Amino acid sequence: MAERRIARGFRSVAGERIWVADAAPSRAQRAARPPLLLLNGIGASTALVEPLLERPELDRVIAFDLPGIGASDPPSRMRRMRQFAALVAELLDALDIPRAHVLGVSWGGALAQQFAFQYPNRCARLVLAATSPGALPPSPRVMLRMSTPRRYTDARFFERVAGSIYGGDLRYDARAVAAVAQRMVAPTLRGYASQLYALAGWSSLLWLHRLRQPTLVMAGRDDPLVPLLNARILARRIPDARLEIFDCGHLFMLTRIQGVVRSLARFLG
């Protein structure tokens, strides 16, 4: 397969300094079809999804750090989900990309839904992974542990709570926990708070039926953070959607990456 090249650097977007990672096998494939734009989970940086960027089976994949996350500067202002979707559109403008496939993971799945609804002509295909329409929240215990970025800043705390938050392999596999921990980059408090603020009160339930993009919904069978019922609701309410369930937890995008990449390659053609 062609050599994979990842270009990294800052972009000025909507008054923010955004860190972008742009991965593609060749210049020819960059122009051949819509790239895959990856929208990450709460507090998660591009470092966490580096294994996905490196996969040679995929064409062009673009990931970026939201304001206050990873290498990006702290946000200049707080945003609601609609405003984050506008930020994504401006990023595509800055990259000279008229249309993209959009993959949203966890919190990023909410943003992906919002973007597909708000900018339907700019979203070719939609992939929703380990995410929710704002329907069924996790247990209060899990919500409490997710309310702060402590798992990013305290390695021992992460090791203690990883299984109860993420489920799947992280319940019993210390090596899987360590592999994820190595890729964790602490967000700024303002950046993390801005994502919590955007999600508060957000729901797509009233307009999911209006999404027209072909949609792949991916979920982990043992996901304490986003219970499986959320994925079933998404697949049922979006007209052109299908559901694929992985025998793992919330982080199946990493722990089941071989199967995930095969599914993505088939779906994106």
Residue 263 has pLDDT above 60, yes or no: yes
- Classify residue 182 as left (phi > 0), alpha (psi -120 to 50) or beta: alpha
Residue 136 has pLDDT above 80, yes or no: no
Name beta bridge partners: 101.
36
Residue 200, φ and ψ in degrees, nearest 5: -60, 120
DSSP tag of 12: E
Residue-level pLDDT at 1: 46
Q: Is residue 106 flagged as an active site residue? A: yes
Q: Tokens 């304490």 sit at which residue?
A: 224
Q: How confident is the model at residue 29 (pLDDT cuts 50, 70, 90)?
A: low
- Classify residue 91 as left (phi > 0), alpha (psi -120 to 50) or beta: alpha
**Alpha-carbon distance 36 to 20, whole Å?**
13
Residue 23 has pLDDT above 90, yes or no: yes
Mean pLDDT score, 98-120: 98
Name beta bridge partners: 37.
62, 102
Structural domains counted in the chain = 1
Residue 33, φ and ψ in degrees, nearest 5: -155, 170
Q: What domain range is 55 assigned to?
A: 5-268
Contact 130/220 with Cβ under 8 angstroms?
yes
> What SS3 state is found at 219?
strand
Residue-level pLDDT at 28: 52
Catalytic one of 72, 106, 194, 204: 106
Distance of CA 46 to the CA centre of its chain: 10
- Rg (C-alpha) for the chain, rounded Å, is 17
- Percent above pLDDT 90 for the chain: 86
Query: What are 69-90's pLDDT values in tens digits?
Result: 999 999 999 999 999 999 999 9
Residue 16 has pLDDT above 60, yes or no: yes
Query: What are 193-240's pLDDT values in tens digits?
Result: 999 999 999 999 999 999 999 999 999 999 999 999 999 999 999 999
Supply the CATH number for residue 43's domain.
3.40.50.1820
Residue-level pLDDT at 146: 87
